[in-house]
Structures are given as structure tokens and as C-alpha cells.
Amino acid sequence: MKVLALISVIMTGALLIYGTEEMPDWGDPNSPASSHVSPGYIQEAIEKTATPNMVTAVLADYRGYDTLGETTVIFTAGIACVLMLRKKRKGEGERYA
Amino acid sequence: MLDYIISKYNFWMYIVLMMIGLYAMVGKRNFVKKLIGMNIFQSAIILFYVSTGVKAGATVPILSGHGHGHEVIEVAKYLNPLPHVLMLTAIVVSIATTGVALAILILIYRRYNTLEEDEILKIRKDAGV
Amino acid sequence: MAEQFAALIIVVPLICSFLVPVIGWWKKKLCYPWVVAVLVIPVIAALGVLNAVMTTGKFSYRLGGWAPPWGIEYALDYLSAFVLLIVSVISLIVAIHSKKSVEEELPEKTVPFYTLYLLLVTGLLGIVITGDVFNLFVFLEISSLSCYGLIAIGEEGAPIAAFNYVILGTIGACFYLLGIGYLYIATGSLNMADLSGILPNLYHSKVILVAFAFFTVGIMIKGALFPLHIWMPDAYSTAPSSVSALIAPLMTKVAAYVMIRIMFTIFQPHFSVEIVPVMPILGWLAVFAIFVGGIKALAQTDIKRMLVYILVAEVGYIVIGVSVANQIGLTGAILHIMNDAAMMACMFLVVGAVFYKTGTRNIYEMHYLNKKMPFTMAAFTITALSFCGIPPTCGFFSKWYLILGTIDAGQWVYAAALLGSSLINAVLFFRVIECAYFKPMQPAYANDGGETHLEIQRDEAPLSMLVPIIIMAAGVILLGLFSGNIISSIIQFAVPASF
């Protein structure tokens, strides 16, 4: 079982490293990731959102919906823990919802 | 050759870290070790993403002292903010998943009094499941 | 108002799920009516969206007014509107059914249960409607976390099954995230429409190939395609009845929807079919899924585990339809998404009602159910006929299109697998029908001092369970009768045009 896990892990790692061959170099300012969408964020964040911190501007304004989803994820995890772990207390009746 | 390694070694390091985490998730027999492997895997993915936003010689994507002046903002001087944003969400998701998994482990421990997969299988087989 | 339907369909269940703990603290009895009332709104909104798509063509809804690719948008076309309607209708019907079984199985956990129920439905609706790959990941995690929590409170063995599901599900989601990462490094964008414009220039890049591979494996884990289905039998069969009735029809179908989106909208059919040889691999895995699902189902005595193995086979049907990659096959696959969701929902609702009334899920203990629960068993028989592919139920039509699609592509082994699986389904269901309808060897006689006669009372399921079951069974027949209309008005346009 451990041998099988080791083989599949090595194959996955090899596939990932094979994919890095054609990636842009580390720190390249002309990579597609740095030249397609993010110049718009960097140049226009201050005038459209009046926030000097660009990460906050993207997080709370442009992609604010993802932040709402992330808050919902925390809420879901909290309710899941309540669902699983709350023990029934004896003699308390209907005090809890 | 050395040039090639220097330009890609960050990705390789994070891939090795990911694979360590993945091996722990799949190959280990103790539930807590699987959980720690899951954490390592997700942390390595987060590091991988953040390293894609680096630009040589750039500074953090926070404008200081510009106020509302309409000066030209040079794109190559600031890091790419988008991977940081995505990874803030991914960190939160990772914490939430770890929390739910730990709650499930508490349920398992209350029932079987052990967290080793082999022992639990033995207990279930003896009980006739 | 009509323009905002696309936003309402997510926002209403989300905000109302935050309100369920508040309402539950005040009065616990109000949770169930509140949940049912809230779930009516996504159905209306989905009908509105489908109407808008059918009259004006596909449209997109920008969240916050930011233009894509800088902001997030919803992409509403025929396929997503169709799947939205399926998800919202089935979640409403299962919610109506859930009242008695939650009171029986989870007495003091009603409030968190209904909260997670609404969150799960929100997550599924969000996966279907969004047009941004990272947003899909966030909603995938919302629905997965609710699922882990809901499964873990089931019966004996449920926490272990839930933990295995956590580990495998997280591997799947993290592979999906890695796929997004590789795609982002190569293109710089996260919007589906934008990606489908940029990617054709990059089809021969290794980065894109690895991204595609990781997307496919991640979605295969979430959608339980053989051989990555191993988490599913334990998890779905030890979960509480309402939970299995909700997640069994929906989660695998939404994963199949995501697979169709990735393969045919983001990566154009030219890439998925011709450049990357993934279709034969998927086709053969689906054939194995059908056989392994069928054979393992034959070995089960617990009816819920048998149904979950049949679900493994049904996922194989949809993937065969995707892998033959022609117009008819894909039509069959999309039609089967709808039909299988309806059939599975009806089956699991029936099993939930039988479990509520008799307390057993063992096939060989289900005697005299035709006298005790006639309407429930009638619904069971109709759905069993649909699984075997007998007209005019809906199962026949989707199998018909799938078989035509495989013959069109020249894949005779796939067609043989589909036909063989109908036979195995017939054996599986007639086993249960025989036990429930026909008398066993030692009937239960009421000993009355010499005179022996049968004493079986009619003990039908309560009305809140019976009405959804009858609605779903009627739906199975009606969807079959109207499948021609459905195909010509909706599905025909949902298939990508370049086939």
C-alpha cells in the first residue's frame, strides 16, 4: 500500500515538474500573469476604489464576491462543528435551539 | 544549465513539498498524520501561487504617499496583487477544512478510543460490520 | 426584478441560511417551514433565468458592476440554466420530505442540520451559475464542507467514511486549485470566457496540458468516476436518509456539469478531443465504472449501498456520453443528468420512507410492503422500470440517445456495456420487487387457535414524505413523455456548436 502511494506520488510530482518546463522564469516582469489582467488592477485601483493597498482593493472591491464566499466557508465550518460536537445535556430540555 | 535551475527552482521546491504532503495523506495509517499531510499539501500550493506573482526588483503592492494624485503608476515597480488575493481565500478554506476534519476526528475518537486506521478496522471487523 | 433573478438565486438561500440559527433559537419548530419557503425562491428564479435565456439568448451578470476579467461574472447559458433548475427543484422536494426523517434520526440537531442544508444548496447553485474558475473553487468548498458535516452525523461508521471523504475530497479540490494555478501562470486570467479566447494560441504548451490533466483528475475525484469512487459507497450509505437523498442525485451531476464546462467551454472541443487523447481513457474508465458498479451492487443486501453502486454506474453513463464527443452522445449525457437526478432522488426518498416506517434497510426483510405501503412501492416500481430503460419512463430516452451516440462514434464496446448494465439493473430491482410484492416461503400467520390468516395492516408513509415521492414518480414518467420537447427546446442549444 505504501509502495503504491509512493509510486503515484512520484508520478504526480513528475507530471508537475514536466509542466514547469515552459513556464515563465521566476521574477519575469513580462510573464502573462503580470501583463494581462494585473496592470489594470495596479494602475486603476487608486482612482476607482480610493484604496492605496491594491490587495485590499482587489479583495474587497473587484473580487468582493470571493470574500463573501470565504466568509460563508468559515460560517459553514463553524456550524458543521456545532452539528457534530454538541452533546445532549441531561435535564436541560428545550433551552437550546 | 545553472541559469535554467535558477529560473525554475522555486517551482521545483514547492512541488517537492506538495508531494511530501500528498504522500502523507495517502500513505500513512494514522488519521492525524493524514490531516497534517493535508495541511502541508495546501500550504505548499499557497506558496506556489504566491511565488508566481514575483517581479524582479518590485516592491509590495501598496501605494505610499500618493494620496489621490494622478501620477503615472509604473506597473513593473509593484508586485502582482492577484495571487495574494486568491491565496488569502485559500488559506481560510484550508483552515476551515482542517477544523471540520478535526471535529470528525473527535467523533471517531469518542467512539473507538484510537486514531490508528488498522486498529479501527480490526475493531469493526471483530464487531461483525 | 427579472434582471436580478440571477443574483437572487444565490443570495436568498445564503442570507436565509445565516438566519436559520436565529430562528431556531427563538422557536425550533419554525426551521422546517422557513427552509421550505426559502427554497421556493431559487426555483422561481431558475425558471425566470431559463425563460430569459430561451427568449434572449445567453447573457452574463456582473457582480458589483466590474467588467470581466477584472471582476467576477455569472455566465448564464442553456446548460447552466438547465442544471440550475434541476438542482433547485430537487432540493425543494427533498426538503419537503425531510421533516419526519430528521425528527426520527437527528432529534436534537435540527437547527444546524437545516443551516447546513441551505448552505449545501447555495454551494451547488453557485458552482453551476458562476463564470469564474476561482469562484467555482470557493463554492465547491462551501458545498464540500457542508457535505462533510452532514455525512458525519449518520449512523455507525459514518465518521470514518466522512473522514475518508474529507481526505479524498480535499485532494480533488487541491488538484483543481493546482490546475487553476498552472492556467493562471500561462494566461493571466481567471474568467472562463476570457480563457476560452486566450487558450487556442497556447494549445501546444506543456503547462496547459498539465493544467488540463489536473482539472480532469480533480473533477473525477469529486464526481466519483472509477477508480476514484472508493469514498462514495461508505459515505453515502451511512449518512442520514435526508442527506443521502439530497447529495446522491446532485453532487455527482454538478461535478459532471463542471467537467463538461471545462472540456468544452474553457478548452474548446478541438483540444479536448483531438490534441489530448483523454476521451478514450475516460470512455474505458466509464465502461469499467458501469461493470464494477453493477457487479458490486449485486453483492449488497443493504438497499442503500446497492443504490450507491448503481449511482457509480450512472456516472459512467454520463461520462460515456461525454467521451464519444458527438452531438447525439452529448445530448444523451445532458438528458441523463436530468433523468438520473430525478430517478435517484425518487429512489432515495422511497428508501427513506421505508426506513422511517420499518426501521430496516435489508432487502430480505422487506416483506409485504405492497400491502403496507402501496403508493411508496408503486413509486419504487416506476423508478425501477426507469432504471432498466423501459419506455415511456425517462430512463429509456436517455439510454436511447447514449446508445445512438456510441454507435455513431463506432464504439461498440460502450454500447454493449450500456445494454448489459440495463440487464444487471433489471436483476437488481426485480430482486427487491420480488421480496416486497410476493409472499415468502414462511408467511407471517396470525395464530388464532386453529384458524390461520394473514394480518397485514396498511401503514403508509406520512403525508410529508408521500407527496414528494408521488411528485418525483410522476416526474419520472412526465420527463420521459416530454423528453422530445425538452431536447428540442433546451438541450439542443446546450451542446457546444462545433460538433
Per-residue pLDDT of A21-57, as tens digits, reads 888 887 777 788 778 888 888 888 888 888 888 889 8
In chain A, whose CA is at the least distance from the CA of C22? A97
The answer, yes or no, to whether residue C451 has pLDDT greater than 50, is no
Asked whether the beta carbons of residue C142 and residue A73 sit closer than 8 angstroms, the reply is: yes
Can you give the pLDDT at residue C450? 47
Can you give the pLDDT at residue A97? 43
User: Could you report the predicted ipTM of this complex, rounded to two decimals?
Assistant: 0.94
pLDDT digits (tens, 9 = 90+) for C132-149: 999 999 999 999 999 999
CB-based contact C258:C219 (threshold 8 Å): yes
Q: Coil, strand or helix: which one is B15?
A: helix
The model's confidence at residue C453, banded by pLDDT at 50, 70 and 90, is low
**What single letter denotes the amino acid at residue A9?**
V
Give C69 to chain B, closest Cα distance, Å. Answer: 12
The residue that leads in pLDDT, C95 or C493, is C95
In the numeric block, which cell numbers belong to residue B30?
494514522
Give B127 to chain A, closest Cα distance, Å. Answer: 24
Asked whether the beta carbons of residue B49 and residue C181 sit closer than 8 angstroms, the reply is: yes
Asked whether the beta carbons of residue B96 and residue A73 sit closer than 8 angstroms, the reply is: yes
Give C283 to chain B, closest Cα distance, Å. Answer: 26
Residues of B in contact with A78 (CB under 8 A): 99
In the numeric block, which cell numbers belong to residue C2?
427579472
Beta bridge partners of C73: C62
The residue that leads in pLDDT, C267 or B70, is C267
The mean pLDDT value for C86-106 works out to: 91
Give B115 to chain A, closest Cα distance, Å. Answer: 17
Asked whether the beta carbons of residue B61 and residue A2 sit closer than 8 angstroms, the reply is: no
**What single letter denotes the amino acid at residue A5?**
A
Can you give the pLDDT at residue B73? 74
Chains that touch B (3 or more CB pairs under 8 A): A, C
Q: Which of C106, C147, C170 to mutate to test binding with chain B, by most B CBs within 10 Å of its CB? A: C170
The model's confidence at residue A96, banded by pLDDT at 50, 70 and 90, is very low
Residues of C in contact with A24 (CB under 8 A): 185
Which H or E element spans position C72?
A: none
pLDDT digits (tens, 9 = 90+) for C459-491: 788 888 899 999 999 999 999 888 888 888 888
**pLDDT exceeding 70 applies to what percent of chain C?**
95
**DSSP assignment, residue A54?**
H
Asked whether the beta carbons of residue C109 and residue A24 sit closer than 8 angstroms, the reply is: no
Can you give the pLDDT at residue C441? 55
Signed CA dihedral, C351, C352, C358, C359: sign only: positive
Can you give the pLDDT at residue C83? 93
The mean pLDDT value for C352-379 works out to: 84
Give C70 to chain A, closest Cα distance, Å. Answer: 6
Mean pLDDT over the full length of chain C: 88
pLDDT digits (tens, 9 = 90+) for C195-253: 888 888 888 888 898 999 999 999 999 988 888 889 999 899 899 989 999 999 999 99
The mean pLDDT value for C167-180 works out to: 94
Can you give the pLDDT at residue C2? 67
Asked whether the beta carbons of residue A76 and residue B104 sit closer than 8 angstroms, the reply is: no
Q: What distance in Å separates the CA atoms of residue B70 and residue A46, rounded to the nearest whole number?
A: 9
Using a CB–CB cutoff of 8 Å, tell me whether A38 touches chain C.
yes
Can you give the pLDDT at residue C310? 92
The residue that leads in pLDDT, C452 or C66, is C66
**DSSP assignment, residue C66?**
P
Asked whether the beta carbons of residue C28 and residue A63 sit closer than 8 angstroms, the reply is: no
Polymer length of chain B: 129
Residues of A in contact with C72 (CB under 8 A): 63, 65-66
Q: Which C residues in the span 138-177 are in contact with B, Cβ-Cβ below 8 Å?
A: 138, 141, 145, 148-149, 152, 156-157, 159-160, 162-163, 166-167, 170-171, 174, 177
Using a CB–CB cutoff of 8 Å, tell me whether C30 touches chain B.
no
**pLDDT exceeding 90 applies to what percent of chain C?**
47
Give C285 to chain A, closest Cα distance, Å. Answer: 18
Asked whether the beta carbons of residue A23 and residue C134 sit closer than 8 angstroms, the reply is: no
User: Which has the closest alpha carbon to C409: C488, C330, C334?
Assistant: C330
Nearest-Å Rg of the Cα atoms of chain C is 23
In chain A, whose CA is at the least distance from the CA of C126? A69
Residue showing cell 453493477 = C294
The mean pLDDT value for C97-118 works out to: 89
Residues of C in contact with A13 (CB under 8 A): none
Q: Coil, strand or helix: which one is C191?
A: strand
Asked whether the beta carbons of residue A19 and residue C211 sit closer than 8 angstroms, the reply is: yes
Residues of B in contact with A20 (CB under 8 A): 8, 11-12, 15
User: Which has the closest alpha carbon to C268: C37, C26, C496?
Assistant: C496
pLDDT digits (tens, 9 = 90+) for C306-320: 999 999 999 999 999
Phi, then psi, of B78 in degrees rounded to 5: -120, 145
Beta bridge partners of A53: B62
Q: What distance in Å separates the CA atoms of residue C114 and residue C127, rounded to the nearest whole number?
A: 20
The mean pLDDT value for B5-15 works out to: 87
The mean pLDDT value for C366-372 works out to: 78
pLDDT digits (tens, 9 = 90+) for C33-60: 999 999 999 999 999 999 988 888 888 8
| Nearest CB neighbour to B52, from listed C145, C148, C185 | C185
Can you give the pLDDT at residue C62? 87
The mean pLDDT value for B16-45 works out to: 93
CA distances from C365 to C232, C368, C369, C432, C440 (A): 25, 9, 10, 10, 10
The answer, yes or no, to whether residue B47 has pLDDT greater than 70, is yes
Can you give the pLDDT at residue C411? 83
CB-based contact C78:C22 (threshold 8 Å): no
Q: What distance in Å separates the CA atoms of residue C495 and residue A2, rounded to the nearest whole number?
A: 43
Can you give the pLDDT at residue C318? 92
pTM: 0.93
pLDDT digits (tens, 9 = 90+) for C283-340: 999 999 999 999 999 988 889 999 999 999 999 999 999 888 888 888 999 999 999 9
Q: Which A residues in the span 51-80 are in contact with B, Cβ-Cβ below 8 Å?
A: 52-55, 57-59, 63, 66-67, 69-70, 73-74, 76-78, 80
| Nearest CB neighbour to A65, from listed C63, C112, C211 | C63
Mean pLDDT over the full length of chain B: 87
Can you give the pLDDT at residue B72? 72
Q: Estimate to the nearest angstrom the gap between the alpha carbon of B99 and the chain centroid.
A: 14
